[in-house]
Structure 1
């Protein structure tokens, strides 16, 4: 007989078939697994919450683009140009892209080229639209507004010609099979007088951190213009301008025949008088210098004269003549005074003639009107005075090549004082840009589009 095995677990009085140690180990293992599963479940729940926050099934729309665009087509007399302006979602200006063809040109033939065959205008506009389609993300095409203005020079064509031309342009741009960009109801047309200045004012106030207290003064070849938003009520020369939820009552006024070229011709004609001499003494030419000047046909006998400031070049004498030329326009004009708190930005010929004479290199510089008078006096005084102020710098060479800079600065100063009633101590800003960005009218037009047509898609 086989002997019976006697297995003993501990003392004989605690003998059990399945010992307590076995069950204790099972209990500990189960507790560990429970805690591990609970921790894993909590972690998984956390992951699901994070994912649901980022990808909520109740909000399936794609993220809002960080950049918005506006397309502006400039139908100028020298060519048709495309401007693609980029803005942040808060409508802050970011940058501008231009069309460039294979030859590096920034424009295509002007619209005038197609006045006899308006149906061919697509040859000028087609490549611009194609460029815009490539430059702007496809997902934003239908919500990117398009605006087009032809230069006022197109009105020189006969009404049937320019009307047919604009009709072809508008038909092409509104054709959704060609261009997906939405065009507002007044988005295609001819630039009205002063309209570009209104857009430039919008751009300027934006570049100056959306300041409402800014006036822009422009001096062109044929006229002088002013745009600002007065702090007092007024009725004349008022233009209502809507920007988003706000309407601005803007004072915009143009003074014809007060541009730099026009006044220069008037001064020369006044000095020439009925003289038939080829050499004319002229106090508005820098002292010690001479310059050829051509009078336009119809001004006396026209022709070319030698304007001689050798002995008589003098700012004060020149001022007397310029004031005489300005009197018919400004002496009895009821001009709204620019508020003393309003910043004044001088543009175009103001900047062209003043900025090169300043020693600072900032984009936008602040000087006084009296400083402009001082610059005019120095320039009119001739080469010795130039050397005292500017030494051997390049500006001295430029002044030597254009002695009539004396006349130009005198005109500028007298337009500011006699015309716009600015005191000598009044500060003005001179420069073409802010942070390398010029207040071009297309930026202002694009900004108005963005603010007045938010969320409008085709």
Structure 2
């Protein structure tokens, strides 16, 4: 509201005009003084009230009174972010990771500086996950969508009500849906899209889709290097190796001319952190951990047998296993041994993985199933993470295989596959050091943060 304090012109005539003018002048001066005082008081009180409301809301006491199905049209057109200070704006982003073994959502809160020369800063993250993944509902798309409701409701709680329709939301499906028949995957994504659009968050037309494996690798690289604060031009970026259920990715900024000359098909120019990079990125579909299990047990698109076997499984033991929504009975033959298992894994990875000589001289961060399996056998602390060498996976595989029980039937196979992927696929020496973390600065090591940064960049608010 604008207050206009310009006095009205007065015209006074007659014999008493001077005295009347003087009296009116005194009265008018007093009125102006009073209005100014009242305006200042009103300004101060308003400022205090606004400050208390913001503090009250940020303290978590002001809960969002919303639920699915509510009419959110009353939110209107809201501004981008809520000013917290002269140079900072708060911004949220929601990224769903629809993976092969489960669905996860990351709610990120950023501090976006208004002044130039300062980068957007991640303040905190809320992480929720459910199992199984969307691909498990191939025969029931509606149920696939409903599996996300709990996480969507949590998003309503974590994002302030006033920022709902200025908070972007995307869902990216990975290898699990990539491997489904096109029509089946489309039906699931259509149902998911319909559900997500009943919520008040900001969604682009292609906000729900299947992510290319190359983008998955690049987003992972952005995530790790940003969490390590390696965003400036002179920083030595790290190599990222991600092992999911259906695929595995490697991404890095190549140094050697040999890498650049021999890998032209896998080089991609990307702009991240407002800088341009030429990245080597390769996604190997079918070499994720669950896909590798299937292959090592003789499974293939042409093999519809419900029974699978592998030298990587202990002799005389069997169990049921579900893969791609199909049930199998898996077992180990009488002549099971780790040497035969290693040879099978070597044949699998060397038929696809391209060796990169410079990797042995680079800093390597590996995560996802690489981390989970290392924790399962006691090589790492689940909270702290740490570092290993490549050979540790081989040593752990041999120990597990010798004393294996039915409860950890796949553990020896998984560890040997990881060792073979690193040693015989990427040709890393046994002594190559590997860094493994579940989180960095309390933020999950996931491609989703990189996707959020790119999303913020597309909205022209990233720095």
- TM-score over 0.5 for the alignment? yes
1:30-429 pair list within 5 angstroms:
63-64=85-86, 65=88, 67-74=90-97, 83-89=106-112, 90-97=119-126, 135-137=158-160, 140=163, 143-150=166-173, 153=177, 156=181, 158=183, 162=187, 165=190, 169=194, 172=197, 179=200, 183=203, 187-210=207-230, 213-232=237-256, 233=260, 234-269=263-298, 284-285=312-313, 290-292=316-318, 304-308=330-334, 313=337, 315-330=338-353, 333=354, 335-361=355-381, 363-380=384-401, 382-383=402-403, 401-429=407-435
Question: By how many angstroms is 1:416 displaced?
Answer: 0.8
Q: Secondary structure at the match of 2:451?
A: helix
Shift of 1:203: 1.5
Q: Which residue of 2 aligns with 1:274?
A: none
Asked whether the equivalents of residues 217 and 282 of structure 2 are also in contact (C-alpha less than 8 Å), the reply is: no
Report the CA distance between 1:129 and its aligned residue.
Answer: 7.5
CA apart distance, 1:79: 8.6
Q: Cα deviation per residue 1:227-265 (whole Å; 9 max; x = unaligned)?
A: 222224352212333224212222221234433344444
How far the C-alpha of 1:355 sits from its partner, in A, is 2.5
Shift of 1:222: 3.9
Identify if the C-alpha distance between structure 1 residues 192 and 265 changes in structure 2 by more than 3 Å, giving closer, same or farther: closer
Give how far 1:433 is off.
2.2
- The structure with the larger Rg is 1
In structure 1, list runs of 5 or more residues that go unmatched.
1-50, 55-60, 271-277, 384-397
Classify 1:342/1:157 alpha carbon distance in 2 versus 1 (closer, same or farther; 3 Å).
same
Larger RCO (alpha carbons 8 Å, 6+ apart): 1
> Gaps spanning 5+ residues in structure 2: where?
1-43, 48-82, 113-118, 300-306
C-alpha contact 2:92 2:110 (8 A) present in aligned 1: yes
Name 1:16's counterpart in structure 2: none
1:423, distance to aligned residue in structure 2 (A): 0.9
Aligned residues of 1:197 and 1:441 also touching (Cα < 8 A) = yes
How many residues align? The count is 352
Structure 2 CA distance, aligned partners of 1:113 and 1:201? Answer: 34
Task: Quickly say closer, same or farther: Cα 1:322–1:304, change in 2 above 3 A.
Answer: closer
Structure 2 residue 449 is matched with structure 1 residue 448: no
User: Match for residue 55 of structure 2?
Assistant: none
Please report how far the alpha carbon of residue 428 of structure 1 lies from its aligned counterpart in structure 2 after TM superposition.
0.8
**Secondary structure of 1:250's match?**
strand
Using the size of structure 2 for normalisation, the TM-score is: 0.59
Pair 1:439-2:460 in alignment: no
Q: CA shift at 1:348, angstroms?
A: 2.6
- How far residue 417 of structure 1 moved from its aligned partner, in angstroms, is 1.2
What SS does the aligned partner of 1:353 have? helix
Following superposition, the deviation at residue 158 of structure 1 comes to 2.9
**Normalised TM-score (structure 1):** 0.60
